[in-house]
């Protein structure tokens, strides 16, 4: 078994605001995801606020996540999978993927 981190990359430009009904449908999709993969999801994770600081190599501090980037990391979850293929399958069923967000899937090195 290996641990994978799913990094949710949202478009930097927000999509049109969803209606309350669409929000509820989105929430239900998370519920379905947890139900489908149960113990495979080690940590539901969290969302990240759109604010941020970037500490440059020379010690300079800039406001916000990388502003040049087209996508910003909007959240993460941690899942348990045999290999990348399985982790990708879990990510595919995740609500972020279903609403058209990109997900970066990275395996933990396991040093910890």
Residue 112 touches other proteins, criterion: CB under 8 A: no
Stated length of the chain:
112
Residue 60 touches other proteins, criterion: CB under 8 A: no
State phi, psi for 85 to the nearest 5 degrees. Answer: -60, -45
Residue 75 touches other proteins, criterion: CB under 8 A: yes
Span 16-55, contacts to other proteins by CB under 8 A: 17-24, 26-31, 34-35, 41, 44-47
Residue 64 touches other proteins, criterion: CB under 8 A: no
- Least Å from the CB of residue 100 to other proteins: 16
What pairs with residue 73 in β-bridges? 9
- Least Å from the CB of residue 58 to other proteins: 33
The b/e string for 47-75 (b: 16+ C-beta within 10 A; e otherwise) is ebeeeeeeeeeeeeeeeebeeeeebbbbb
Query: Residues interacting with other proteins, by CB under 8 A?
Result: 17-24, 26-31, 34-35, 41, 44-47, 75, 77, 95
């Amino acid at each position: 078994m290996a641990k994978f981190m799913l990094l949710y990359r949202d478009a930097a430009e927000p999509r049109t605001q969803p209606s309350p009904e669409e929000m509820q449908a989105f929430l239900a999709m998370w519920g379905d995801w947890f139900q489908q993969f149960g113990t495979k999801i080690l940590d539901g994770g969290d969302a990240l606020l759109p604010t941020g600081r970037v500490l440059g190599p020379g010690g300079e501090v800039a406001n916000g996540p990388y502003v040049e980037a087209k996508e910003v990391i909007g959240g993460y979850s941690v899942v348990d999978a045999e290999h990348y293929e399985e982790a990708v399958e879990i990510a595919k069923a995740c609500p972020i993927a279903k609403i058209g967000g990109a997900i970066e899937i990275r395996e933990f090195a396991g040093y910890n």
